[in-house]
Structure 1
Amino acid sequence: MSSKKKNIYTYLGKVILITLLIVLFIRTFFVESYTISSSQMQTSLLEGDQVLIDKTSYGVRLPITILTIPFTFDKIFGVRSYLTSIEAPYKRILEKNIERNDIVLFNNPMDIGKPLDKRDLIVSRCIAMPGDTISVEKGLLSLNGINHIAPPDLMNEYSMHILALKDIQAIMEEHNIPIRSLKHRADTISILLNKLEAFIINENIEDSTVSICCKTDTTQNYHLIVPSKGKLISVNSLNINMYKQLILQEQEGNACVINDKLYIGGKEQTTYTFQDDYYWMLSDNTKDALDSRMLGFIPFKNIIGKVHFIWYSSHNGNVRKERCLTSVN
């Protein structure tokens, strides 16, 4: 090989290496692409949407798992792509507050068998902040005593009589309303719609005796206070189950609960001061979602960044041009 060709290959190799390092740096600290793989945020986000995550929105969380293969998350060819022998402590630079109704990407707090930055990824909407009071009565959500105004794309289950299905399907087809999660129950049928879609259907039904009705879940009633950093609480048998998981995770093996009593370092505690801020996530498609109703409070340290932008979208191999290069609300 001539020295000229060798110099060209050396130059190209350096260019490729520098380019990869720059991309890795940007991906690690500033912005990263994420693929929406579930229906829990439809219609704000659809399966197949490729979104950009702004990792600077709430401050840059530094990497925790140092020994990891670049450009992989937790696996490569089915094998774990990182080592846990060296882990950095949690640290965030230029910390900023999350805003209510932000759509955020975070690590699953229940996936405790992995390092923090390698836990499963979830996208959901933040509806409650540290210190907020959440109440659900007969399926109606209120924050700090005020009824929660849901985003316009919030999905609810609507029911109709089976005899009205043909007419309603025709209206949905005419107005390009997709059929989501169609379920049959005796002589009724249910589908997932947002408020605008339900309004369009009801306005276009010619038979005045036919309508679609929103189904409200009245079985889940609860009253919660979202923990905040530095908040001191009394620990007793009435609230230990609510906050047990948070305390155990914060103490990282130094705490245990026995007979509804909290022990830290082997000593019984009657009070506890939280070390992190927590948030309550509620997805737009509340019927098929993995959010705070299943996971509980989400620690601030688990937050990765804000979903800002849909740069590409496809479904079954077809590009959804109307969704490409659009902002996320």
Structure 2
Amino acid sequence: MNYFVIYSLYVLLLSLLMGISTWKLFKKLGINPLFAFIPFYNYYLILKKAEKPAWWTVFAYFPVVGPIMISVFHLYLMRLFGKTSTTQRVLTVLLPFLYIALVNYDAKTELEAPEYLLPGEEEEKHGKESFLGSVTFAVVFATVIHVFITQPFGIPTGSMERTMLVGDFLFVNKLNYGFRMPMRPVSIPFIQGTIWDTGEKGNPKDDPKSYVEAVKLPYFRFPGWEEPKRNDIVVFNYPDDSVHIAIDRKDPYVKRLVAEPGDVMEMRAGRLFINGKPEVRMGDAQVQHSYEVYTSSQLDIPSLYDLYGFLPVVEQQTTNGYYYHFQGLTDDVAKELSQSSLVLSINEIIEKKGDKDLSYYPDVNKSIESQSFVPSTKINYSSTIFPHDKNWNMDWYGPVTIPKKGTTVILTSQNIRLYEKIITVYENNTLELKDGKFIINGRPTEKYTFAYNYYMMVGDNRDASLDGRYFGFVPETHIVGKPMFTWLSVEGLFQDQNSSYQANGKSLRWDRMFKATNTGELHKTSYTWLAVLLLIVFFGWEYIMNFIKKFKK
């Protein structure tokens, strides 16, 4: 069903509950009780009676923001009838329509007479209300920015080193590719999926969620001013997040979009080829590969870290010297390192062609031939190459064509694992094999037409990245946005478990803060002006509004 049809049904349901639980209160306020049932207008009238900014009404039914504002409006209504104790406020917020209904149908409920205050007391009360109003606005303003415009995102792993550093915090623009409406509109602001982790022994699916799963809306995206294109750095929701069903609540990942819909992507000996040609890299792309290095004596790793930056490495002493496994070196760094007098040999680590990256492997071909095909459910996607019936690995992958919206493919036993997840998970169809034929939504067919565009996302740190080579294609429904700039960068904030050496302490990388990302340029544009503007609006809104009021007088 259409997003806005379901959205409208929710609004009508809330308005019905509002009317049933407040119509007598409206009557006591001198308002036609029928107005209690009219969406937006009912809250507009409450704000007018409470002498609060009426324009706040526009936020009444916004996803995520709406529940906050509705709770505020309810508190204002209850205050008009003297329900101001801590217990009464808590009940108003936690059991809104139930508690308000009890007040509404209580024959003793009366409109509270205006409180008489001495001049000093009046100023004190006005100051408290002004403070609470500022806090409310700050929370709502930040929530609107976070949900509808740009969202902060941290880099905890080295999959995009050295293009994006571990400890970078980005602002992600949600509008470039078109804003995706929230699919779980009732949620706690600023928390992505889980409120807290119950621990290693608990089931992550049982961790308390930051959203109400029962209140859900379908996927809908407004048009953007650009399409995701090859070489873009993109933030998206991790497709194989098994904890969260809601697409927009799955864990956010950041990778480079290496192949667009319709492209043919292939890895040959660790090198990426698109449409049969070597990849064309952006100017700021720092692609890395893993290397093994044998030396005659111990390397000064801290000095190398200071020289080259992020340098995950495992060190082992051998009978003839030392062995080092560098998780990610660029070709230039590897060349410089090879020129050291201590280095006996340096070789890029490349998996053998035909070896599978594998943790669980069903006998797919046998199950297809025996006509007992069942969509796979036991595969550990995080450590098994995609698709799971190919003799591929990180360094020898493909060729594979990226699915494009509107394109039709012939389904066979050789390609069904490639498209199975698209058909059943991303595009919500049923799939089975019966009498040698594929059955989609109860109908025999040998063809399938893709409903969405898909993309291949791969990390710049090619041998230390959980990316599309493992979880497969990323559908357009999972795209969050495009990184805009780095607002904070802290070295040593996240520790690498695969490295023998860690940064000593934590320090700010001032040269990266408020610098643009995703431009492809070595010298980045500064967004300091935007950060200052947002801080002024966020913290100074009340002062700005008071100044405008005084100016008008």
Q: 2 CA distance for matches of 1:226 and 1:185? A: 44
Q: Distance in 2 between matches of 1:313 and 1:8?
A: 37
Structure 2 counterpart of 1:320, from 509, 532, 553: 509
Who is 1:12 aligned against?
Answer: 131
Q: Which residue of 2 aligns with 1:291?
A: 467
Trace 1:36-185 onto structure 2 (pairs within 5 A): 36-78=155-197, 79-95=208-224, 96-112=226-242, 113-150=244-281, 152-163=285-296, 165-166=298-299, 169=301, 172=304, 175-182=307-314, 184=316
Tell me, yes or no, if the aligned pair for 1:105 and 1:121 is still in contact at 8 Å: yes
* AA aligned opposite 2:232: D
Coordinate RMSD, CA, aligned? 2.4
Q: 1:179 to 1:165 in 2, by over 3 A?
A: farther
Q: CA deviation at 1:71?
A: 2.1
Structure 2 counterpart of 1:217, from 338, 343, 351: 351
Offset at residue 182 of structure 1 (A): 2.2
Report the counterpart of residue 306 of structure 1 in structure 2.
482
Q: Which runs of 5+ in 1 are unaligned?
A: none
Contact 2:143–2:189 (8 Å) recurs in 1: yes
Tell me if structure 2 keeps the 8 A contact 1:237–1:261: no
| Deviation of 1:19 (Å) | 2.4
Shift of 1:90: 0.8
2:325 alignment partner, one of 190, 197, 207: 190
Q: Which has the larger radius of gyration?
A: 2
Decide which moves more: 119-128 or 317-326.
Answer: 317-326
Q: Which residue of structure 2 lines up, in the alignment, with residue 26 of structure 1?
A: 145
Find the residue that maps to 2:452 and give its secondary structure: coil
Q: Deviations over 1:172-213 (max 9, x none)?
A: 36734553132549774321211232233234x247x84533
TM-score (normalised: structure 2): 0.55
C-alpha distance 198-82 of structure 1, shift in aligned 2 (>3 A): same
Change (3 A) 1:102 1:75: same
Matched, 1:256 2:431: yes
Q: Identity of paired residues, percent?
A: 26
Q: Distance in 1 between matches of 2:308 and 2:449?
A: 52
CA pair 8-174 structure 1, distance change in 2 beyond 3 A: closer
SS of aligned partner of 2:134 = helix
* 1:217-237 C-alpha deviation (Å, 9 max, x unpaired): 343332100001111111111
Distance change (3 Å), C-alpha of 1:164 and 1:195? farther
Residue segments in structure 2 that go unaligned for 5+ positions in a row: 1-116, 198-207, 354-392, 493-504, 519-553
Q: Which has the higher contact order (CA 8 A, sep 6+)?
A: 1
**Residue identity matched to 1:128:** A
CA 1:307 to 1:237, structure 2 compared with 1: closer, same or farther past 3 Å?
same
Structure 2 CA distance for aligned equivalents of residues 102 and 311 of structure 1: 19
Give the counterpart letter for 1:215 in structure 2.
Answer: I
Aligned-pair CA distance for 1:165: 4.6
CA displacement at 1:61 relative to structure 2: 0.8
Is 1:240 equivalent to 2:240 in the alignment?
no
Tell me how far apart the structure 2 counterparts of residues 255 and 198 of structure 1 sit (CA, whole Å): 49
Number of matched pairs: 325
2:133 and 2:407 mapped to 1: Cα distance? 52
User: 1 or 2, which has the higher strand percentage?
Assistant: 1
Q: CA deviation at 1:17?
A: 1.3
Aligned-pair distance for 1:63?
0.7
Contact 1:158 1:190 in 2 (8 A): yes
* TM-score, scaled to structure 1: 0.90
